[in-house]
Amino acid sequence: MNGNPLWYKDAVFYEVYVRAFRDSDGDGYGDLRGLIEKLDYLQDLGVDCIWLMPIFPSPLFDDGYDVADFRDIHPDYGNLDDFKELVAEAHKRSIRIITDLVLNHTSSHHPWFQAARKDKTSKYRDYYVWSDTDQKYSEARIIFLDTETSNWAWDEEAGQYYWHRFYSSQPDLNYENPQVQQEMLDVMKFWLDLGIDGFRADAIPYLYEREGTNCENLPETHAYLKQARAFFDKHAPEGILLSEANQWPEDVRAYFGDGDEMHMAFHFPVMPRIFMALKRQDSTPIRQILERTPEIPENTQWCTFLRNHDELTLEMVTEDERQWMWQQYAPDPRMRLNLGIRRRLAPLLDNDKATILLANSLLFTLPGSPILYYGDEIGMGDNIWLDDRNGVRTPMQWDSSQQAGFSEAQELYAPVIAEVPYAPAQVNVASQQADPDSLYHHIKRMIAARKSQPAFSCGDLAWAETDKPEETLAYYRRSNGETLLVINNLSAGAQTVRVKLAQGVGPAFSDLLNGQNFQADGGFLEAKLPPRGYLWLKAG
């Protein structure tokens, strides 16, 4: 869009669930035209790239991650012309658009699967993974533990079992088949031709199966992704592939290849450790996981997040840590789902503004490009009584009206959060925009400050030594002679912290958020931080 193929290294991302964002035609479902209406809002917030959850025709057994047609728009959301207009309008505002590319599986309603199950001789039969027994690949774990008992499902019509890593309504595609490989490249091309800026590649560790393995991160998967990247580069030199690989850092590292595989990858393990550190008031978990995070190629970038549309996943923690996280953050069993917690950011953090801002301070200053989940910038609540992950996918709260300015319809796809303190009367965009001290404005200022300092996006990370190594997390971000020093107070008490300055840094610092000046003395900077406070300083 602007001739900068590395734009994603500096970008602020924002995840939108189209169904939930804004309903333009009063049918109770958010749609693409509704999102177009809200692009000015996102531009003003400082968003550079929007990630759209799946917008394709689907029976919605997994909210669109069960795709029934890879080349069209779900009628609830609009049509391909609306999509083209969305891309054009976003680009006018220098905002890029990526959407989910669900490579691993289709919906069982997809015509390929329908043809495959009906006729053993159909070319589509081999698009999926079939077996006469349900005993193969027994080392592969079940991901949707609360609903699925096996990765195999019996299909009466086909007279065989088929393989599925997610719901049984999502049969896995067979990547051994070169036609499947090509089909999905063609799907990418279809959307790239419509002007899209890339994809969030869903569930990529699971593309291939091999007996005797856990069927994750296999070499064949990497080989295909490299092929996809080469194809992608040819058609979209400025586009990105963002990998959803919920794995340990060393396994995710492989998805960057030599800078010839995925451009970006979510950093899953750091996310729960931010929550651990906040609750324990101890920076150790964050420090440890970042020390375990390998270097990545120059042309790649981590993507960091606090929450998204799924449960807060606890797959990348130890069993003890998971139990502890559940006790602390999901005391009610309704809050738990699979290996995670189905709650939003604000309720997880007891709606404590200082803690929510501290979490965002970490998000915006640690390595990686940050992604915000819609509604978290205003501290929206959740509804644990809705099924599956729907409780974190409720209508966006634009104003204080009953339907929250989301829709003019009486009946909505899901109820607006109605309970105090998260109902529209308490939490909405309009009132936070009017209040300079609101969560929204603090986050907007953080985004602006982050974007004014390239070292936040490209700089390396070095810990700063302090006299409060547990209560605080202090670090330098440095690039091209620019040095930033961030000090976060993880504790619920005020802290006076002495930071030992690294060689050649300081003694003068300016505060990037509040415009204050600081002066170090004798090689130490002394700073007073309020409970859960943070300082973003620039040396010189």
- Active site positions, annotated: 202, 244
CA of 432: how far to CAs of 294, 362, 448, in Å? 39, 22, 17
150/137 Cα distance (integer angstroms):
11
Cβ neighbors of 246 (< 8 A, separation 6 or more) are 205, 266, 268, 313, 315, 316
To the nearest whole angstrom, how small is the minimum distance from the Cβ of residue 233 to ligand NOJ? 25
540/526 Cα distance (integer angstroms):
16
To the nearest whole angstrom, how small is the minimum distance from the Cβ of residue 67 to ligand NOJ? 9
CB nearer to ligand NOJ: pick between 244 and 376: 244
511/484 Cα distance (integer angstroms):
10
Strand 460-463 relative to strand 336-337, pairing: unpaired
229/258 Cα distance (integer angstroms):
12
**Could you tell me how far CA 477 lies from the centroid of its own chain?**
23
CB nearer to ligand NOJ: pick between 66 and 82: 66
228/360 Cα distance (integer angstroms):
34
To the nearest whole angstrom, how small is the minimum distance from the Cβ of residue 9 to ligand NOJ? 23
To the nearest whole angstrom, how small is the minimum distance from the Cβ of residue 156 to ligand NOJ? 24
**Locus of tokens 């729907």:** 390
The amino acid at residue 338 is: N
To the nearest whole angstrom, how small is the minimum distance from the Cβ of residue 268 to ligand NOJ? 11
To the nearest whole angstrom, how small is the minimum distance from the Cβ of residue 60 to ligand NOJ? 11
To the nearest whole angstrom, how small is the minimum distance from the Cβ of residue 334 to ligand NOJ? 19
Closest CA to 87 of 192, 229, 201: 192
CB nearer to ligand NOJ: pick between 282 and 311: 311
The β-bridge partners of 527 are 497
Residue 82, both tokens: 């609306």
CB nearer to ligand NOJ: pick between 96 and 309: 309
Closest CA to 539 of 459, 468, 439: 459
Q: By Cβ distance, which residue is nearest to ligand NOJ?
A: 65
CB nearer to ligand NOJ: pick between 187 and 464: 187
CB nearer to ligand NOJ: pick between 48 and 310: 310
Number of Cβ within 10 Å of residue 149's Cβ equals 10
To the nearest whole angstrom, how small is the minimum distance from the Cβ of residue 69 to ligand NOJ? 16
To the nearest whole angstrom, how small is the minimum distance from the Cβ of residue 317 to ligand NOJ? 18
The amino acid at residue 10 is: D
Binding site for ligand NOJ (CB under 6 A): 62, 65, 102, 166, 202-203, 244, 309-310
Residues 295, 259 contacting (CB under 8 angstroms): no
Residue 341, both tokens: 């917690």
Closest CA to 293 of 321, 266, 275, 312: 266
CB nearer to ligand NOJ: pick between 166 and 413: 166
The amino acid at residue 400 is: S
Cβ neighbors of 171 (< 8 A, separation 6 or more) are 105, 106, 108, 113, 128, 129, 153, 162, 163, 164
CB nearer to ligand NOJ: pick between 62 and 377: 62
CB nearer to ligand NOJ: pick between 169 and 407: 169
HEC string of 382-417?
CCCCCCCCHHHCCCCCCCCCCCCCCCCCCCCCCCCC
